[in-house]
Chain A
């Protein structure tokens, strides 16, 4: 339950530990940051310099009727404008580039980390949530990195430059003009806080509205079966009204704040006119200065307002980064030994010695399981649902580590081997075939450079998939999934057989699918399985009578234990568990075969 709430963390506005970790991703781009700040110092001056130039234009040239001087100022103004535009462009470009690169780094690193996590992690975490971490959560950091960090400097520099020019011209008038500043700052922060609360309220109601709709679209048949349309509409109206009201509340703050800022700015102008005008009359100030100051008040207000906005960016970033780093800190991994033992000349012998295994502590799904498979042997594992068949596969490939006992591969404990090397020698064909977006070819080779095109075609031919593949519009280059050819369940299985064969593993694990396919495909599959198993150590979770009959040994699992072991005939003669399983699952196949 607490996990469910994870997405709702609003977060603190600032957390120095998180910030430190976030900034560590900026470090590789330190020269971008320095460069951007330097550019900012320059570009921030270009805006404020213009009112100063107009002051000179008025006082020195217009009032003195010097047309040439006026033209010169005009040229300077144009130059500063173009210069500012160009620098501004590159500045924006580079800060965004930096932000995007940092986002790229974070995202790919996180993805890489997740790929390394053990299956246990995927068992307990909904996929949707993990996907959100690498997509939306990372995305919400974008603003912080691409505009947040650098733009804070930009705003500060603009404010500083304006102050420099203002005080240079008249410190007295500057103080008068700035007298509205405390009110502005206070109003801004008050507004931010109110708006933030109002916005949270809006978001809360929006979430309610969305989850109501989501839920009721999903359960519309229940609504209709119970003829509750009218009652539901009333409930919906209530939620819809709350959402509207929350929005209207937030409108109020905007409606107050923006006009208020405009009034403040006009008040500053009025003050400048009144006080500055007095100075002009006394001869201590020129009209040009007055003119420049009127322009400065306008310039000054924007960065002050923006600075407070950065606070919001920071807050969103904090909430997302908290979730992201939590995932980074998750270390559910299957540890590789530091000095793994080397496998020389793999033979493919497997031995389970008194293996105990549980997914959850103390709930053993495998109890004291021991068996031996010699190189080249085929072993069928049979049992009713929940007997522990799949768990045997899971622990053999070290998707999970066992609690007690040991599993030996060519006499070496698999825990002492490099798990990547171990898995390279074992191919698994799972029950529900997973096809990736891509072509049939890439789904067989899984983009391995070692697997040549000939080998792909050869593998497909061997398992009997060649015929239907070549009939597809683009043959082996046909896209599977979404836009591509729709493959039947049986065809997908054949492709996964071809995949396993192309990798030519020493050991093959096959989890036979139970889903029914048409007789023709069934025949193809049966033949393919025989070819697949030939010449290699194989473990099959068998659902096909033909597979069982062709295996060297059958292991009968029941409630986590091995109950019987032997050949098909031996076990049938016992007339015990296998006999019952046979009647339940396999006997029908005999009938259809003879029929």
Chain B
């Protein structure tokens, strides 16, 4: 339960509305419980008709009946009006708090390092943001509302019942705690069974996923029937688990009626005999029956609320765990806020890096100086640490061994915002938002400048393609729009990075899906637009990097070759080998 205390600060924010809501509950209940009393008065008035002792005044009785009828209606309207206000306060507050929690959650998530997103799947994070926050809301809203409602109804109704008849009150209330207990126990067991069903369902999903992914193997070995049999078996197990739940769930309503009905029967038999004895009036029995009707729903709610609270508590714990994740990469005491811009000289000094404490080194003893305004290229086989190297410059990960300096300042002393704003990193995975093309290109720029879009699209040689799009630069991209080709995506990402006019441009394999002709054009554009700025190019293709001021070859996390294109070809090492193969490929491509 402890973790739910965390919610106090949210609840406190809406204290006025909550206090109002609680008083509305009290008013509504107070008006509501009058109804049985009016019914009682009406019936007792009518009772005189049947009493053989007194001669009755029919006009007077009729007045009693009519007045009570009107009073019932008025009480109902007052009670109903305040019920409306209750929902408009308490439930609305629960949505406000849900909003606040989600807002805080997102603010927090955004600041977490890349490492967090690599260790937690998107689905997992999403589950926290939806299910767990939802469970907590159920606690703040409905659970709080029903608890107060239940308790106040109980107190008022039981107090009134006691004023009518104490022994009858005790007897009729006896079954109700049992009802509460059953609801609590049953919903707990149902919840457990439900978890089992969910497990089977996810097995079923996995099986379907597997059968469709492995369809080639299945068809090759003519194993369709096997798959169908296995799936049928799982479906059947799923059916059995569902029925397991039904066995318990089906008890719910009958038990409820049984226990609640018992109370009513007690009133009629015990109360009836009291009427016969003359210790109770007929109207009072009627009031009791109606009162019971008031108590049954709160009794059920009681057991239900207990479960909500438990689930909310578990969810809150999971949320807390994420909310306690460290930001890791942020400005600190070392940050020198007098640094307001970056020139572009980068230096690696003895940098070694591994992703996790237990894993192998991805980079070893990297020493490299990139003069301001120069173009440097990194080549090497996949998984040799090329991307890691550039990610370190933008502080997507922090290094523990060695130093990376920009303009002579260690990067952890440069304000993070300045650092990242000055570096235009185009990551290997081309990630674009489901937005218009223009908005994607202007992502890093705080103005809606059409000229900027056009300018950098033409540098990235994207402009010709855009002419063919239905709405030009306003064309939607992604699921709700057009699907760009791999090369178009890469060029859009490039234009996006160029638009912020960074001091350092880093292209992580950004030409792999672009044909060599276009690539050549882009490189030419870049060299004129970006003269004087530092560029780092990662590529598998010689054509991308042959004109760089310096080429380094990474192998197993080390710099093994370094120099100009011609020098490296002459060296006859890894670079020369890659070069030879690409020549061969080109030749093959030309054969028809």
Residues in chain A within 8 A of chain B (CB atoms): 1, 4, 47, 50, 54, 57-58, 61-63, 65-67, 70-71, 73-74, 77-78, 81-82, 84-86, 88-89, 92-93, 96-97, 100-101, 103-104, 107-108, 111-112, 114-116, 119, 122, 127, 130-131, 134-135, 139, 210-211, 213-215, 217-229, 231-233, 236-237, 240-241, 243-244, 247-248, 251-252, 254-256, 258-260, 262-263, 265-267, 269-271, 273-274, 277-278, 280-281, 283, 287, 290-291, 294-295, 298, 384, 397, 399, 420, 423-424, 426-428, 430, 434, 436-437, 446-448, 499, 503, 558-559, 563, 577, 580-581, 583-584
Among the listed B205, B227, B236, which residue makes an inter-chain contact with A104, where contact means beta carbons less than 8 Å apart? B236
Main secondary structure of the interface of A (DSSP, over half): helix
Q: Are A85 and B255 in contact, with the CB atoms below 8 A?
A: yes
Q: Are B228 and A108 in contact, with the CB atoms below 8 A?
A: yes
Main secondary structure of the interface of B (DSSP, over half): helix
Given A397-B220, A559-B592, A233-B106 contact (CB < 8 Å): yes
Cα distance A427–B223 in the bound complex, in angstroms: 12
Closest chain-B Cβ to A203's Cβ sits at a distance in Å of: 13
Q: Are B421 and A227 in contact, with the CB atoms below 8 A?
A: yes
Among the listed B65, B99, B258, B394, which residue makes an inter-chain contact with A281, where contact means beta carbons less than 8 Å apart? B65
Complex interface: chain B residues within 8 A of A218 (CB) = 122, 431
Among the listed A217, A291, A426, A427, which residue makes an inter-chain contact with B126, where contact means beta carbons less than 8 Å apart? A217
Closest chain-A Cβ to B148's Cβ sits at a distance in Å of: 16
Query: 23 A-B pairs, CB-CB below 8 angstroms?
Result: A58-B272, A62-B272, A86-B254, A88-B250, A88-B257, A100-B239, A119-B219, A127-B212, A228-B444, A255-B83, A255-B86, A262-B80, A266-B75, A270-B76, A273-B72, A274-B65, A290-B46, A291-B43, A399-B216, A427-B220, A434-B214, A434-B216, A583-B584
Cα distance A13–B420 in the bound complex, in angstroms: 53
Among the listed B227, B273, B589, which residue makes an inter-chain contact with A70, where contact means beta carbons less than 8 Å apart? B273
Given A115-B227, A225-B420, A287-B46, A232-B239 contact (CB < 8 Å): no
Q: Which of B241-249, B456-464, B518-526, B538-546 contacts A (4 or more CB under 8 A)?
A: B241-249
Closest chain-B Cβ to A269's Cβ sits at a distance in Å of: 6
Q: What 3 A-B pairs have minimum CB-CB distances, sorted nearest first?
A: A266-B76, A277-B65, A255-B87
Complex interface: chain A residues within 8 A of B226 (CB) = 446-448
Q: Are B221 and A434 in contact, with the CB atoms below 8 A?
A: no
B396 within 8 Å of A (CB atoms): yes
Closest chain-B Cβ to A232's Cβ sits at a distance in Å of: 7
Q: Are A222 and B431 in contact, with the CB atoms below 8 A?
A: yes
Given A115-B224, A135-B204, A577-B83 contact (CB < 8 Å): no
Closest chain-B Cβ to A199's Cβ sits at a distance in Å of: 14
Closest chain-B Cβ to A239's Cβ sits at a distance in Å of: 10
Q: Are A81 and B261 in contact, with the CB atoms below 8 A?
A: yes
B47 within 8 Å of A (CB atoms): yes
B111 within 8 Å of A (CB atoms): yes
Q: Are B584 and A580 in contact, with the CB atoms below 8 A?
A: yes
B213 within 8 Å of A (CB atoms): yes
Complex interface: chain A residues within 8 A of B394 (CB) = 225
Report the nearest A residue to B70, measured CB to CB.
A270
Closest chain-B Cβ to A466's Cβ sits at a distance in Å of: 22
B218 within 8 Å of A (CB atoms): yes
Interface readout for B551-592 with A: 1 if CB under 8 Å, 0 if not?
000000000000000000000000000001100110111011
Closest chain-B Cβ to A503's Cβ sits at a distance in Å of: 7
Closest chain-A Cβ to B45's Cβ sits at a distance in Å of: 8
Among the listed A213, A256, A424, which residue makes an inter-chain contact with B129, where contact means beta carbons less than 8 Å apart? A213
Residues in chain B within 8 A of chain A (CB atoms): 35, 39, 42-43, 45-47, 49-50, 58, 61-62, 65-66, 68-70, 72-73, 75-77, 79-81, 83-88, 91-92, 95-96, 98-99, 102-103, 106-107, 109-112, 114, 117, 122, 125-126, 129-130, 201, 204-224, 226-228, 230-232, 235-236, 238-239, 242-243, 246-247, 249-251, 253-255, 257-258, 261-262, 264-265, 268-269, 272-273, 275-276, 282, 285-286, 289-290, 293, 394, 396, 416-417, 420-421, 423, 425, 427, 431, 433-434, 443-444, 446, 479-480, 482, 496, 500, 580-581, 584-585, 587-589, 591-592
Q: Are A233 and B80 in contact, with the CB atoms below 8 A?
A: no
Our count of residue pairs bridging A and B at CB distance below 8 angstroms stands at 360
Apart from the given pairs A217-B125, A294-B286, 9 other A-B contacts in the complex at a CB distance below 8 Å = A70-B276, A77-B265, A81-B265, A92-B249, A115-B215, A220-B109, A223-B110, A262-B79, A448-B223
Q: Are B282 and A211 in contact, with the CB atoms below 8 A?
A: no
Q: Are A100 and B242 in contact, with the CB atoms below 8 A?
A: yes
Q: Are A446 and B126 in contact, with the CB atoms below 8 A?
A: no
Q: Are A228 and B443 in contact, with the CB atoms below 8 A?
A: yes
Complex interface: chain A residues within 8 A of B222 (CB) = 420, 423-424
Closest chain-A Cβ to B122's Cβ sits at a distance in Å of: 5
Given A74-B268, A85-B258, A295-B235 contact (CB < 8 Å): no
Among the listed A107, A254, A274, A430, which residue makes an inter-chain contact with B69, where contact means beta carbons less than 8 Å apart? A274
Among the listed A254, A294, A428, which residue makes an inter-chain contact with B290, where contact means beta carbons less than 8 Å apart? A294
Complex interface: chain A residues within 8 A of B221 (CB) = 423, 427, 446, 448, 499, 503
Among the listed A78, A112, A214, A424, which residue makes an inter-chain contact with B122, where contact means beta carbons less than 8 Å apart? A214
Complex interface: chain A residues within 8 A of B239 (CB) = 100-101, 103-104
Q: Are A446 and B223 in contact, with the CB atoms below 8 A?
A: yes
Among the listed A77, A86, A122, A237, which residue makes an inter-chain contact with B103, where contact means beta carbons less than 8 Å apart? A237
Report the nearest B residue to A88, measured CB to CB.
B254
Closest chain-A Cβ to B268's Cβ sits at a distance in Å of: 6
Given A115-B224, A259-B83, A280-B46, A221-B114 contact (CB < 8 Å): yes
Report the nearest A residue to B232, measured CB to CB.
A108
Q: Are A217 and B122 in contact, with the CB atoms below 8 A?
A: yes
Report the nearest A residue to B203, measured CB to CB.
A437
Closest chain-A Cβ to B110's Cβ sits at a distance in Å of: 5
Given A93-B247, A558-B591, A224-B396 contact (CB < 8 Å): yes
Given A96-B250, A262-B80, A420-B222, A269-B110 contact (CB < 8 Å): no
Q: Are A436 and B47 in contact, with the CB atoms below 8 A?
A: no
Q: Are B591 and A577 in contact, with the CB atoms below 8 A?
A: yes
Closest chain-A Cβ to B29's Cβ sits at a distance in Å of: 12
Q: Are B107 and A221 in contact, with the CB atoms below 8 A?
A: no
Cα distance A139–B198 in the bound complex, in angstroms: 12
Cα distance A342–B206 in the bound complex, in angstroms: 38
Closest chain-B Cβ to A21's Cβ sits at a distance in Å of: 20
Cα distance A131–B231 in the bound complex, in angstroms: 12
Q: Are A127 and B209 in contact, with the CB atoms below 8 A?
A: yes
Closest chain-A Cβ to B390's Cβ sits at a distance in Å of: 11
Given A77-B265, A93-B246, A266-B76, A224-B420 contact (CB < 8 Å): yes
Complex interface: chain A residues within 8 A of B224 (CB) = 115-116
Cα distance A93–B49 in the bound complex, in angstroms: 49
Report the nearest A residue to B124, measured CB to CB.
A217
Complex interface: chain B residues within 8 A of A499 (CB) = 221
Report the nearest B residue to A77, measured CB to CB.
B265
Q: Are A229 and B261 in contact, with the CB atoms below 8 A?
A: no
Closest chain-B Cβ to A28's Cβ sits at a distance in Å of: 15
Complex interface: chain B residues within 8 A of A93 (CB) = 243, 246-247, 250
Cα distance A430–B216 in the bound complex, in angstroms: 9
Q: Identify the interface centre among A62, A70, A218, A223: most chain B CB within 10 Å of its CB.
A: A62
Report the nearest B residue to A433, measured CB to CB.
B217
Complex interface: chain A residues within 8 A of B581 (CB) = 583-584
Report the nearest B residue to A218, measured CB to CB.
B122
Closest chain-A Cβ to B140's Cβ sits at a distance in Å of: 13
Cα distance A301–B312 in the bound complex, in angstroms: 33
Q: Are B76 and A57 in contact, with the CB atoms below 8 A?
A: no
Report the nearest A residue to B215, measured CB to CB.
A122
Q: Are B258 and A81 in contact, with the CB atoms below 8 A?
A: yes
Among the listed A85, A130, A277, A291, which residue makes an inter-chain contact with B257, where contact means beta carbons less than 8 Å apart? A85
Complex interface: chain B residues within 8 A of A248 (CB) = 92, 95
Given A85-B255, A227-B421, A240-B208 contact (CB < 8 Å): no
Complex interface: chain A residues within 8 A of B427 (CB) = 221-222, 225
Closest chain-A Cβ to B381's Cβ sits at a distance in Å of: 10
Given A434-B213, A434-B216, A263-B76 contact (CB < 8 Å): yes
Among the listed B69, B109, B204, which residue makes an inter-chain contact with A271, where contact means beta carbons less than 8 Å apart? B69
